[in-house]
Structure 1
Amino acid sequence: MSVKIILVRHGQTEWNRIERFRGRYDIPLNQTGLDQATRTGMKISKKWKPTAIYSSPMGRALETAKKIGEFCDLPVVPCDGLNDIDYGEWQGLTPEDVNKRWPDLLKVWYEIPEMAYIPEGESLTQVKERAMSTIRELCEKHPDSTIVLVSHTVVNRMILLSILGAGKDHFWRIHQDPCAINIFEQNHTFYNVVCWNDTCHLDV
């Protein structure tokens, strides 16, 4: 059994542009993000033939996935396992805001993120466990197929680190730009990474 997974980060939002902790806040794509989603849909439809599209239930991810679905003539299935990290009490705040209330914890987040426990939020371990459980379930559901998953930077990073066998301490070494395309394949019990953080389609 071989499954090709096209893992996409959603397009740009205003909170990406000015940098706020987004998490479960439902922020729409801005115009740049909509344009990025369109270009991503064009690229995927021309190069691959996916049989299913799954997305985080957050609006910014669903908007991106629906643009891809328009070009691929496929519906989008919301998937809770692809939802963004729950930033708890940090959601909606800028790093400067967080630093005023939790300076020590913010330092941990940026320096040793695997040890960060965000108040009322999720840890990276929790994100990894639910995301990889979702990957396994979807691969079993779509054997010998190509599927598209649209998610968020934290979730995508944890998926990529997991399939590479790298620790959570490498979290900040993985880049995920808006509408980046990552491709990996499941071959029986292991994964092969084909590419990550590909944004060439956005430069057209």
Structure 2
Amino acid sequence: MTVIYWVRHAPTHARSFVGHRDIPADLSDTAQVARLSAALPSNALLVSSDLSRSIDTATAIENGRTRLPHRAGLREFDFGDWDGMHFSEVAENWPDLSRAYWETPGDVAPPNGESWNAAADRVTQDIHSVIAEHPRRDIIAVAHFGAILSQVQRAAGISPFRALSHRIDNYSITEIQMRPTAGVARINHVP
């Protein structure tokens, strides 16, 4: 059995949509970083998305763990034209589309962006590639809110809308056990 320890990156303090836009994380809470690192298995492989907020969080918790190359497939959802905009601005400019994006996630996508289903497929394919390359190894995957929720949705067999009801805090651990079928062991554990 492989266990994926999904870790959400350190906070960015952005007050807007942040998808593929690369902005830095604030890793100044060194006590929290130490608690997170201590709560993760020391022999697990470590991988992150290729965005700096995940790369830098992974570096902060590395502590001798074997590091795998960064993965573009583990990125946050691509919010397209919404990336960098405040939620209220999106709701004002695209009222019906923004409501549908959150209330009926699935195939609804922002202009020039990615739907829930497309992002979930991307993340699933990428993490399954990591598992196939490293069978029977536990993996710490430092990623993003949407990427992690997409895997909760798949592993729990719930709708995207139900998955969105879960919190995924910065520095949190969401544990998914990959047996013949996936199962969720814990969601949003903040050490």
TM-score, structure 2 as length reference: 0.91
Find the counterpart in structure 2 of residue 194 from structure 1.
Answer: 185
* Distance in 2 separating the partners of 1:158 and 1:146: 19
Structure 2 counterparts to residues 107-186 of structure 1, below 5 A? 107-186=99-178
Find the counterpart in structure 1 of residue 53 from structure 2.
Answer: 60
Listed one character per residue, the Cα deviations across residues 22-44 of structure 1 (whole Å, up to 9, x for unaligned) are 00111111255665434312322
Q: Is the 8 A contact 2:48 2:55 kept in 1?
A: yes
CA shift for structure 1 position 169: 2.6
* Distance in 2 separating the partners of 1:4 and 1:130: 19
Q: Which consecutive unaligned segments of at least 5 residues does structure 1 have?
A: none
* Distance in 2 separating the partners of 1:34 and 1:94: 29
Find the counterpart in structure 2 of residue 50 from structure 1.
Answer: 43
Find the counterpart in structure 1 of residue 4 from structure 2.
Answer: 5
SS at match of 1:110: helix
Listed one character per residue, the Cα deviations across residues 54-73 of structure 1 (whole Å, up to 9, x for unaligned) are 1111111111111111x234
* Distance in 2 separating the partners of 1:122 and 1:33: 32
Q: State yes or no: 1:77 paired with 2:69.
A: yes
Find the counterpart in structure 1 of residue 78 from structure 2.
Answer: 86
Q: Which residue, out of 23, 36, 41, partners 1:40? A: 36
* Distance in 2 separating the partners of 1:37 and 1:121: 32
Relative to 1, partners in 2 of residues 1:31 and 1:8: Cα closer, same or farther, differing over 3 Å?
A: closer
CA shift for structure 1 position 74: 3.0
SS at match of 1:72: coil
Read off the aligned partner of 2:48 and give its amino acid letter: S
Tell me whether 157-166 or 111-120 shows the greater mean CA deviation.
111-120
How many residues were matched structurally? 191
* Distance in 2 separating the partners of 1:182 and 1:41: 14
SS at match of 1:77: coil
TM-score, structure 1 as length reference: 0.86
* Distance in 2 separating the partners of 1:190 and 1:108: 30
Q: Is the 8 A contact 1:11 1:34 kept in 2?
A: no
Read off the aligned partner of 2:174 and give its amino acid letter: N
Quick check: which one's helix share is greater? 1
* Distance in 2 separating the partners of 1:115 and 1:36: 37
Q: Which consecutive unaligned segments of at least 5 residues does structure 2 have?
A: none
Q: Is the 8 A contact 1:176 1:197 kept in 2?
A: yes
* Distance in 1 separating the partners of 2:29 and 2:122: 26
Q: State yes or no: 1:100 paired with 2:96.
A: no
SS at match of 1:85: coil
| Cα root mean square deviation, aligned | 1.8
